[in-house]
Structure 1
């Protein structure tokens, strides 16, 4: 007969649950940092486009 651990979650055990939570936190942090990076690139491209537009109009 299989023993059930009080800390098991779908048969993963406490270590498996902790690893899943840490993986989720890591993935979310990468996602959020990527969003900030894309925003920064967008601002840079926009300002470069405005500068080019100003140079053409002058």
Structure 2
């Protein structure tokens, strides 16, 4: 699992930080989707970060 998913799950990172990580290609929407599937982040967090519903 991507570091940023764990960081978001444990409140070590904010959604804005994850958005920046996506811009730097350090995390991807696919990584976020896997995080939702494993219940590490919520669908609402996914939507807030990507702007798209899962």
Superposition TM-score tier, normalisation by shorter sequence: under 0.3
Which TM-score applies when normalising by structure 1?
A: 0.24
Q: Which has the larger helix fraction?
A: 1
- Which structure has more RCO (C-alpha within 8 Å, separation ≥ 6)? 2
Which TM-score applies when normalising by structure 2?
A: 0.25
